[in-house]
Structure 1
Amino acid sequence: MNLKQLSHLLGLSQTTISRALNGYPEVNEETRQRVLQAAKETGYRPNRAAQRLATGRSGSIGLVMPIAAGQYSDVHFGEFQVGLAEEALRHDFHFVITPANPRDEEQAIRWMVASGNVDGYYLAYLRENDPRIAMALSLDVPFIVHGRSIGIDADYPYLDVDNLGAFRDAARLLLDLGHTRLALLNGPEDLDFAIRRRQGVETALAERGLTLDSKNIRHMLMTDEQGHRAMVELLEGDNPPTAVLCASTVLALGAVRAIMRAGLTLGRDISLIAHDDELPMLKPENFTIPLTTTRSSLRAAGIRVAQRLIAEIKKSEPSPPRRELWQADLVVRASTGPAPRK
């Protein structure tokens, strides 16, 4: 089925069909849905080169995937991408993925934009005073940031979770249960979300006249192995913590294994709260002792980022909000309990 045949089938001009498929606002919704349904039933797909000539758009979202020797694959990145892909598919958008060494991300983005192969892109893994934001603002291509960057005024399009608020509330819960020796198993220390989560714990402790002992803080790649190793170190140290906060259920998986091997009972001898990105293969309620969590869906974030980026590319009305800050849910389960008596 080609465009001419589809035009004859529907009794519509080729221009109208092209505009309907590409989301032009002057095509009414009834006609648009009729065209979309016919395209689906007949298997029609627009020629990408012709579509680009007609609309000036490539129909692609760009992303730079940081990769380096010895770097682990990240299940969190994958879950976010699934959400992004789900929404892109609904709008017939493709991905242009550019692998780059983390040190070369800015140049990779410039090359990607200069190629003309993307209509917009998103930034992830934001760092403090991240230079990519100023660069993105200087380029004449829509973009959105998944996260934020401490030290930079928030006058850029972003979607983020209130990481500080989530971990402040989680730490308050532990403090209300009588815990004063808290530990934090966190993501890489240069990443914005990890900085804010640490600030959240420190804020809650400061409210009670307490501080977060630097010996009880671990920054790491968020893997099961890293979580296990860090938890073993904490439990073997002097005056070990009675409660621990984990930046991911993946870290918590390793931490719980270390706790069990030490002969401790979660929720009685030591409490644990993890951040739950709603990873489908690692549900906190399915742990032997269900985990208390702060919860925010990475897949939902991916869907929303794609919605906003595609709306900006298509100049949809109304315009999406420039800044979104999602609140995480605190879900209390059996892994938290009163501080053990001395």
Structure 2
Amino acid sequence: MNLKELARKLDLSPTTVSRALNGYPEVNEATRERVAAAAKRYNYQPNTRAIRLATGRAMAVGHVIPLTTRHEIVNPVFADFIAGAGEVYSRNGYDMLLSVVPDDNEERAYRELKSRGTVDGVIVHGPRLDDPRIALLTEMEVPFVVHGRATGSALPYSWVDVNNRRAFHRATEFLLDLGHRRIGLVNGLEFMDFAIRRRAGYEQALAQRGIALDPAIMVSEEMTETAGHRTVAAMLRAPNPPTALLVSSMIMALGARRAIEEKGLRLGRDVSVIIHDDELSYLRNGDDVPIFTATRSSVREAGRQAADMLLSLISGRETGPKELLLEAELIIGQSTGPCKG
């Protein structure tokens, strides 16, 4: 079925049907819902090339990925985010354009996307402290949504983020309630916004219980298995090792568990561990009973929400800035127990 045939069945003009399917704000909600229902009923698949010609849109969303070895985008969390975003793009007739560029070419990549008209908007990944991309994209008038937030940014912008500060505050409190006082932090790289917020939650919870910070058991590293192993092994060799750990990802936690077992200790009995679990499709935290106690928030769902927010901004259904703060759930697993010391 083509657009004209669908329009005839609805007794609407092809232009109205096209605008309804593409979210133009001048089409009222009742008409949009009626057209969407008919498109689903008749299995109508829009002709993307025709939409591009009719609307002047590229019908594509850009993701610019800096190519660096010391950046959190190397984490497989990115794949699940893209999978969630891709579901929304596909449902709405959008393509996804991935550009992997050297760090010093990132600004040029955004400007080329704009000048060529190859995308209608972009999603910004891995926001950093005072992230310059926010000012750049605002000045370029490119619709964008940030996955995360950028501490220190003075400009308003649209974002989808997890409440990282509250998640790690709550996790630290849980360990304190179990009697732990030597709680180590194995964090991501702390020029990244999420890591800044996680440290803040951890530090606040300790301060509220009158516990002084110990830099010897607080590390900031790339979120890899080897980094988790190396840093936790060093902590456990120290004269006054931690009895519990907060670890910023499942992948780092695998290295932490290896270090704990190499020391002849038992996870959850001798050393308690809480991780942040992004609910990765191919790296699950156990089956019925979680392996790790975790602050859990689906990164795939964050991808869906960010993509939906961006398409709403592109279509004009929504005006920015839009903000969505997702809460992480504390899941009790086998990796935590009362302090023995």
- TM-score, normalised to structure 2, is 0.89
**Match of 1:284?**
285
Letter of the 2:303 partner, please give it: G
CA contact (8 A) 2:158 2:320 kept: no
CA contact (8 A) 1:294 1:329 kept: yes
How far did residue 47 of structure 1 move?
A: 4.6
Separation (CA, whole Å) in 2 of partners of 1:155 and 1:34: 38
Separation (CA, whole Å) in 2 of partners of 1:134 and 1:99: 21
**Match of 1:19?**
19
CA contact (8 A) 2:23 2:316 kept: no
How far did residue 230 of structure 1 move?
A: 1.6
Separation (CA, whole Å) in 2 of partners of 1:130 and 1:320: 19
1:119–1:54 CA distance, 2 compared to 1 (3 A): same
**Match of 1:74?**
75
Q: Deviation string for 1:150-190 (max 9, x for gaps)?
A: 11246211111111111111111111212111111111121
Separation (CA, whole Å) in 1 of partners of 2:308 and 2:287: 31
Separation (CA, whole Å) in 1 of partners of 2:27 and 2:166: 43
Separation (CA, whole Å) in 2 of partners of 1:287 and 1:262: 28
Letter of the 1:126 partner, please give it: P
**Match of 1:234?**
235
How far did residue 199 of structure 1 move?
A: 1.3
How far did residue 53 of structure 1 move?
A: 2.7
**Match of 2:226?**
225
Separation (CA, whole Å) in 1 of partners of 2:286 and 2:320: 34
**Match of 2:37?**
33
How far did residue 67 of structure 1 move?
A: 1.3
Separation (CA, whole Å) in 2 of partners of 1:185 and 1:227: 7
**Match of 2:100?**
99
How far did residue 17 of structure 1 move?
A: 4.6
CA contact (8 A) 2:157 2:321 kept: no
**Match of 2:53?**
53
How far did residue 9 of structure 1 move?
A: 8.4
- Which moved further from structure 2: 12-21 or 181-190? 12-21
- Describe the SS at the equivalent of 2:98: strand
1:12–1:206 CA distance, 2 compared to 1 (3 A): closer
Separation (CA, whole Å) in 2 of partners of 1:132 and 1:339: 45
- Describe the SS at the equivalent of 2:42: helix
**Match of 2:128?**
127
- Describe the SS at the equivalent of 2:141: coil
CA contact (8 A) 2:184 2:245 kept: yes
5+ residue gaps, structure 2, are: none
Separation (CA, whole Å) in 2 of partners of 1:196 and 1:239: 27
Separation (CA, whole Å) in 1 of partners of 2:129 and 2:333: 33
1:14–1:150 CA distance, 2 compared to 1 (3 A): closer
Separation (CA, whole Å) in 2 of partners of 1:17 and 1:112: 29
**Match of 1:253?**
254
How far did residue 283 of structure 1 move?
A: 2.3
1:6–1:331 CA distance, 2 compared to 1 (3 A): closer
CA contact (8 A) 1:228 1:257 kept: yes
Separation (CA, whole Å) in 2 of partners of 1:298 and 1:314: 24
1:83–1:11 CA distance, 2 compared to 1 (3 A): same
- Describe the SS at the equivalent of 2:279: coil
- Describe the SS at the equivalent of 1:284: coil
Separation (CA, whole Å) in 1 of partners of 2:148 and 2:233: 31
**Match of 2:117?**
116
How far did residue 321 of structure 1 move?
A: 6.9
RMSD (CA atoms): 2.5
How far did residue 326 of structure 1 move?
A: 1.7
Separation (CA, whole Å) in 2 of partners of 1:34 and 1:162: 39
**Match of 1:197?**
198
CA contact (8 A) 2:10 2:35 kept: no
Separation (CA, whole Å) in 2 of partners of 1:166 and 1:279: 18
**Match of 1:178?**
179
CA contact (8 A) 2:64 2:100 kept: yes
1:187–1:287 CA distance, 2 compared to 1 (3 A): farther
Q: Which runs of 4+ in 1 moved over 6 A?
A: 4-12, 69-72
**Match of 1:331?**
331
5+ residue gaps, structure 1, are: none
Separation (CA, whole Å) in 2 of partners of 1:70 and 1:163: 21
Letter of the 2:129 partner, please give it: E
Residue 140 in structure 1 maps to residue 141 in structure 2:
yes
CA contact (8 A) 1:98 1:112 kept: no
Separation (CA, whole Å) in 2 of partners of 1:323 and 1:47: 29
Letter of the 1:15 partner, please give it: T
Letter of the 1:127 partner, please give it: R
- TM-score, normalised to structure 1, is 0.89
